[in-house]
A = this chain, B = another copy of it.
Amino acid sequence: MHAENQPLHLRNVRLPQDEEPTDIHIADGRIRAIGGQSAPDPGDEEIDARGALLLPGFIDSHCHVDKTMWGGPWTAHTAGPDVADRIANERERRFDVGYPSGNRIRALLEQMSNSGTTHIRTHTDVDPDVGLRGMEEVAAAAAAMVGRIDVQQVAFPQQGVVTRPGTASLLRDAVEMGATAIGGVDPAGFDDDPIGQLKAIFGLACDLDSEIDIHLHDPGELGMWQVKAIIDWTRRTGMEGRVTISHAFCLGTTPAVEAAGVLDGLAETRISLTTAAVFSKPVLPVRTLFEAGINLGCGSDGIRDLWSPYGNGDMLERAMFVAYRNDLRRDEDIELALGAATYNGARILGLEAYGLEVGCAADMVLVPARNLAEAVVAHPQRALVVKNGRIIVNNFN
């Protein structure tokens, strides 16, 4: 058993850029030294990593842990085929299936942590029926998991802002109780008042000094028009670098995103995007966005909830989905998908001291893989997970 503050000395770790394995010294939750020179101190916990590949902790930058039924009874899916059907079905059934459940949220956070995720941004439903109970349950589960996984909440108006009176003031309350971002959902296609929703959420975010994260499922021209509107509102309100658009299926091919002429606008306003590569929905074009300097994160989206029974919180498997759906086959392209689940996500969450340098927080994962591309395509069992310098999973034993 690794004691809470015991320094950790990892031998024979392979850094992604190096051929030869090296040693890593961890103390007080930070990476203190990299390199074979530093011998372990007496009292260090020593682990021989046997050449396993070192990755930074995974960042799930778009999930919905409040809704999960992880660890609960199997709940067969019943919703109709469209987003609006799923929202209506969820609204009807969610309290019957026990939403929101602190036990299930905590079970899922444990699962995520065990798979190497060290930070998440989760969208928590906020509406007049559930009020702030989802926020409270997630906050309580996160508190119970302190030191294992860091949780940021987005106050998410799943049922709309304009069409659900009372939601806007709850979003304000949610930020005041700790949400770091205000969410939005299909301002046109679902809320039926795009400018009304954007005005409300940008107003709140400016007022409360919070970030914004808008779920945009609307396809094609309707989606694209809203991307342009979000760029416009970001500029107008001085929110550059503080806005994320999630899903953005309308941008889901290289020709679509190029033809729309939005690449420059997204890059200039430093709007991030997130993708979960769900189902057969268009998946954001990883290489095109990278070359345009647009930050793309990656997340699980829903995990075993009333939207679908899929998902397991494994960000390495999710990066594989993103790479596979993008037809990324070359090593350097596959690595971009892993970047979405690590460094790019850290940028969205505003993490400081994230990475594999001396001085960074010791949030890391070791996997049996020869290189980053293999880590993604094989998404193997985690050999070691370390969070804040503390061992979460150790399969070297």
Residues of B within 8 A of A378 (CB): 312
A253 to chain B, nearest CB (A): 9
Majority secondary structure of chain A interface residues (helix, strand, loop or mixed): loop
Q: Is the CB of B279 within 8 A of A331?
A: no
A309 is contacted by which of B279, B309, B334 (Cβ under 8 Å)? B334
Q: Is the CB of B279 within 8 A of A76?
A: no
A76 is contacted by which of B81, B326, B330 (Cβ under 8 Å)? B330
How many chain copies?
2
Residues of B within 8 A of A325 (CB): 279-280
With contacts A279-B324, A324-B310 known, is A329 near B77, CB below 8 A? yes
Contacting B at CB under 8 A, from A308-331, are 308-312, 320, 324-327, 329-331
Q: Does A169 lie at the interface of the complex (its beta carbon under 8 Å from any beta carbon of B)?
A: no
From A130-138, A235-243, A368-376, give the one contacting chain B: A368-376
Residues of B within 8 A of A83 (CB): none
With contacts A279-B325, A280-B326, A283-B280 known, is A77 near B312, CB below 8 A? no
Q: Is the CB of A74 within 8 A of B309?
A: no
A370 is contacted by which of B74, B78, B320, B326 (Cβ under 8 Å)? B74
Q: Is the CB of B329 within 8 A of A373?
A: no
Q: Is the CB of B280 within 8 A of A309?
A: no
Q: Is the CB of A77 within 8 A of B324?
A: no
Once the chains are docked, how many angstroms separate the CA of A377 from the CA of B302? 13
Residues of B within 8 A of A334 (CB): 309
Q: Does A107 lie at the interface of the complex (its beta carbon under 8 Å from any beta carbon of B)?
A: no
Residues of B within 8 A of A283 (CB): 280
A4 to chain B, nearest CB (A): 31
A257 to chain B, nearest CB (A): 15
Contacting B at CB under 8 A, from A78-97, are 78-79, 81
Q: Is the CB of A331 within 8 A of B280?
A: no
Once the chains are docked, how many angstroms separate the CA of A329 from the CA of B370? 35
A329 is contacted by which of B79, B312, B324 (Cβ under 8 Å)? B79
Q: Is the CB of B309 within 8 A of A76?
A: no
Residues of B within 8 A of A304 (CB): 377
Q: Which 4 A-B residue pairings sit nearest by Cβ, starting from the closest? A: A77-B329, A279-B327, A74-B370, A76-B331
Residue pairs across A and B with Cβ atoms less than 8 A apart, 23 shown, are A74-B371, A74-B374, A76-B330, A76-B331, A76-B373, A78-B330, A79-B329, A81-B327, A279-B324, A279-B325, A280-B280, A280-B283, A280-B326, A280-B327, A304-B377, A308-B329, A309-B334, A309-B374, A309-B377, A310-B320, A310-B324, A310-B329, A312-B378
Interface residues of A (CB under 8 A from B): 74, 76-79, 81, 279-280, 283, 304, 308-312, 320, 324-327, 329-331, 334, 370-371, 373-374, 377-378
